[in-house]
Amino acid sequence: MITYQAPYGSCAQLKYVDQSFAVAVAVFSLGALTGGFLVLILSPMQGIIISLLQTRVITPVRTVSRFGSGALLLLVFLNNSIPPLLSFAYPFVIARLNWTPPLTKRRRCVLLTSFTVLSAFLIGFFGLGATLSMGWILGGQELLFNLLKGAWVHGPIELTAILLCASEPLRIAEQESPTDLKSSLLHDGKLLAICLFILMLSAGIEVFVGV
C-alpha cells in the first residue's frame, strides 16, 4: 500500500496541493467516470439516482426557497460543508478512541487512507458523474449544457475545497502516534477554516449569481 505525507514546512499556502490532494483528485475522477458510465447502462441505477436527487437536492431546495435566498444560501453551504467537516472529524475520532487492542500505525494508516479514497470516489460518483448522466438521460444535450452552465464557476471552486479537505486523512496517515495525529489536525485546522470560507463564497455565487 502506498501512502503519502506532505511536508510540514514553509509555503503554507501551497503545501496542501500535494500528493494526497492529487490522489483525491484522481480517485474523484475515477468515481465520476464510473458513476456516469453505470448510470448510462444500468436502469436500476437511474432510479436510485433520481430518488437521491429528489430527496437530497430537489425537495430541500424547494422547501427552503420559500424562506428566501438567505435560507437557500445556508442550505447549500451546510450541504457542501459535510464532507470537509467529516474529513477532519474522522481522524480526530480515530485518535481519541481507546482502541482494544491499540491500533498499530499500519492499521491507523489503512483507516485514514481508506476514508480519503472512499470519500473522493463517492463524491465523484454521485456529485458529478451520476448527476451529469441523469441530466443527459432526462433532458439530452440541452439539460446537460444547462447543468454545466449553471455550475461552471461555483462547481470547480467547491469541488477543489472539498477535495482539499477530503485528502487530509491521507495527508496525515503516516503520523507515528495518536498525539502526533491530533497535533497535525490542529496544525491543519486553518485549511478547514479557509475551505469553509471558500464554500460560503461558492454558495453565494451559486445562489445569487447562478454560475
Tell me whether residue 43 is in a domain. yes
Tell me whether residue 5 is in a domain. no
Pure H helices in 3-104: 19-41, 43-53, 59-65, 69-96
How far apart (Å, rounded) are the C-alpha atoms in residues 139 and 126?
A: 18
How far apart (Å, rounded) are the C-alpha atoms in residues 204 and 211?
A: 10
How far apart (Å, rounded) are the C-alpha atoms in residues 83 and 211?
A: 22
Tell me whether residue 34 is in a domain. yes
DSSP helix/strand/coil, 161? helix
Structural domain boundaries, residue 152: 19-209
Domains: count for the chain: 1
How do residues 101-155 score in pLDDT, each as one tens digit?
888 999 999 999 999 999 999 999 999 999 999 999 999 999 999 999 999 999 9
Q: What is the pLDDT of residue 101?
A: 86
Q: pTM for the complete prediction?
A: 0.90
- What is the mean predicted confidence (pLDDT) over 7-28? 77
Residue 14 — very low, low, confident or very high, per pLDDT cuts 50/70/90?
low
Tell me whether residue 4 is in a domain. no
Tell me whether residue 197 is in a domain. yes
DSSP helix/strand/coil, 192? helix
Residue among 171, 177, 178 at smallest CA distance from 95: 178
Contact assessment for residue 29 and residue 123, using Cβ atoms and an 8 Å cutoff? no
Tell me whether residue 146 is in a domain. yes
Tell me whether residue 9 is in a domain. no
Residue 45 amino acid letter: M
Q: Using CB atoms within 10 A of its CB, is residue 181 exposed (0-12), middle (13-18) or buried (19+)?
A: buried
Contacts of 204 (CB under 8 A, 6+ apart): 73
Q: What is the pLDDT of residue 27?
A: 98
Tell me whether residue 1 is in a domain. no
Q: What is the pLDDT of residue 17?
A: 87
How do residues 42-70 score in pLDDT, each as one tens digit?
999 999 999 999 999 999 999 999 999 99
How do residues 181-198 score in pLDDT, each as one tens digit?
999 999 999 999 999 999
